Amino acid sequence: MSRTTSGRGRLYESVTDTIGDTPVIRLNRIAPEHVTIYVKVEAFNPAGSVKDRLAVSIIEEAEASGALAPGQTVVEATSGNTGIGLAMACAATGHPLVVTMADSFSIERRKLMRFLGAKVVLTPRADKAVGMYKKAVELAEANGWFMARQFETPANALIHANTTAREILADFDGQRLNYFVTGYGTGGTFNGVAKVLKAERPDVKIVLTEPANAALVGSGTAQARGEGGSPASGHPAWEPHPIQGWTPDFIPAVLQEALDRGDHDALIPVTGADGMTWAQRLAREEGIFVGISAGATLAAAVAAAGEAPEGSVMLVMLPDTGERYLTTPLFEAIPEEMTGEEQALSRSTPGYQLA
C-alpha cells in the first residue's frame, strides 16, 4: 500500500498557530518488554521544542493584559530553548527580543536566536543561571523592557494545562495510561500537566526526574527567594551537569507551586551519561532525533518501568530536537570524516572516490 497524505484541512494565519498538537509515538524497539512506552515529541513544534508553547503564552497573555505594549522589547534569561521559542514568537508578533544566556550553553543556540532576529547577551558561566537571570532584570529595569519571567509567570503552567495536558487527555481518551514522565527546567510542563491529570486522570502516576548531580528537589533544601518568587541565590545542591535545559541552579517558582501541591508520585535522578545514551538509542533504534534532556527523561521512564506492573502504559515527554546539541558531548563521538568502514565501502567499487 502506497503512503498518501490529505493535508491538515486548514490554513494558518501565523507560525504561532502551528504550536502544539505534537504527536504521541509508540517505542517499538527499545522499551522494556513488559510495558508500553509512548513519547510525546515536542520537536514537532515550529521552533523545535516544548518551549514554543511557553513563549507564545507569555507574549499573548502579556499583550492581552496590557503588560506588553505593541513593539515593546522583550528580555529574558534562558539556556536556549525558551529564547529560541521567544525569538520565533517575537519575530511573528513584531517585538524586539534580547536574551541573556550563560556562555556555557551550546553555540548553535546563540546562532539560532540571532538568526531569528534576537540579540544575545552572554554572561559568565561562573555566575550560573542566577547570573543570567539578574542580568536580564538589570536590562529590563534600565531600559523599560518587558521581562518574560519564564520561571515565575502564571502563563507558563497555564499553557501546559490548556494545551499539553488536553492533548494527552484526547490522545489517551478511552486508552490505558499509567505513568506520565517529565523532567523540569522551569517546571511549567510538570506543573500544568500534573494539575490537569491529577484532576481528570488521578490513576496516572506522575514521575519527575532531575540530574543526579544536581538533585535540587531530592535534596529537600528550600530555595531562597526574592521579590515575586525570583531566586535570591543559587541552590546549594546544584552542580554543573550536561543536561541543557534541565535544572537551573535554583528551584523556579513555577516548579515550587507543583511541588507544594505534592503533584509527583516519584522522583528519579538521572545521570548525564544515561541521558546521552538513551538519546542516541532513540535516534539509532527508533529514528526519533532528540536532545539530551529527552534521553534523560526516557532513562527515568525505563528506571520507573523496573517497578511497573506488567502491561503498564507510560507517556514520556521529549522536550526538543537533537540539532540543539551538535557542539555538545552528545555528538562528541560522531566523526566528521569517513570512518575506516566507510572508506572500505568507498573503495569497494572503482568510481567517485575521494583522493
pLDDT score at 7: 94
Phi and psi, residue 232, nearest 5°: -80, -25
Among 51, 128, 135, 205, the one annotated catalytic: 51
Instruction: Please tell me whether residues 282 and 298 are part of one structural domain.
Output: yes
Contact 157, 257 (CB under 8 A): yes
What whole-number distance in Å separates Cα of residue 98 and Cα of residue 127?
Answer: 19
How many of the other CB atoms lie within 10 Å of CB of 220?
Answer: 8
Is 158 among the domain residues?
no
Instruction: Please tell me whether residues 30 and 60 are part of one structural domain.
Output: no
User: Which pLDDT tens digit goes with each residue over 219-265?
Assistant: 999 999 999 999 999 999 999 999 999 999 999 999 999 999 999 99
Among 49, 57, 79, 293, the one annotated catalytic: 293
Instruction: Please tell me whether residues 194 and 113 are part of one structural domain.
Output: no
What is the bridge-based pairing of β-strands 35-41 and 312-318? parallel
Instruction: Please tell me whether residues 215 and 273 are part of one structural domain.
Output: yes
Instruction: Please tell me whether residues 103 and 185 are part of one structural domain.
Output: no
Instruction: Please tell me whether residues 304 and 321 are part of one structural domain.
Output: yes
By C-alpha distance, which of 52, 55, 94, 100 is closest to 72?
A: 94
User: Average pLDDT per run of 10 along the chain, which is 355 residues long?
Assistant: 92 98 98 98 98 98 98 94 97 98 90 96 92 95 97 97 98 98 98 98 98 98 94 94 93 98 98 98 98 98 98 98 94 95 96 92
Instruction: Please tell me whether residues 20 and 58 are part of one structural domain.
Output: no
Cell numbers standing for residue 301:
521512564
Instruction: Please tell me whether residues 180 and 304 are part of one structural domain.
Output: yes
pLDDT score at 220: 97
Instruction: Please tell me whether residues 187 and 295 are part of one structural domain.
Output: yes
Is 84 among the domain residues?
yes
Is 157 among the domain residues?
no
Is 266 among the domain residues?
yes
Listed in sequence order, the residues at least 6 apart from 327 whose beta carbon sits closer than 8 Å to its beta carbon are 106, 107, 108
What is the bridge-based pairing of β-strands 119-123 and 266-270? unpaired
Last residue of a domain, one of 147, 172, 187: 147
What is the bridge-based pairing of β-strands 24-26 and 35-41? antiparallel
What is the bridge-based pairing of β-strands 74-77 and 119-123? unpaired
Q: Which domain holds residue 80?
A: 51-147
Residue 65: active-site member: no
Listed in sequence order, the residues at least 6 apart from 54 whose beta carbon sits closer than 8 Å to its beta carbon are 82, 85, 150, 155, 156, 159, 186, 188
Instruction: Please tell me whether residues 240 and 178 are part of one structural domain.
Output: yes
Contact 62, 85 (CB under 8 A): no
Is 337 among the domain residues?
no
Contact 208, 216 (CB under 8 A): no
Phi and psi, residue 188, nearest 5°: -65, -45
Q: In what order do the strands lie in the sheet with 74-77?
A: 119-123, 97-102, 74-77, 146-147
3-class DSSP state of 153: coil
Instruction: Please tell me whether residues 34 and 57 are part of one structural domain.
Output: no
Cell numbers standing for residue 22:
505534537
Torsion sign, CA atoms 278, 284, 288, 292 = positive
Is 340 among the domain residues?
no
Cell numbers standing for residue 272:
548525564
Is 250 among the domain residues?
yes
DSSP letter for 15, please: G
Q: Is the backbone of residue 74 left (phi > 0), alpha (psi -120 to 50) or beta?
A: beta
Listed in sequence order, the residues at least 6 apart from 170 whose beta carbon sits closer than 8 Å to its beta carbon are none
Residue 207 corresponds to which amino acid? Answer: V
Is 297 among the domain residues?
yes
Residue 119: active-site member: no
Instruction: Please tell me whether residues 121 and 175 are part of one structural domain.
Output: no
pLDDT score at 348: 97
The CATH number that applies at residue 262 is: 3.40.50.1100
Q: How many domains does the chain have?
A: 2
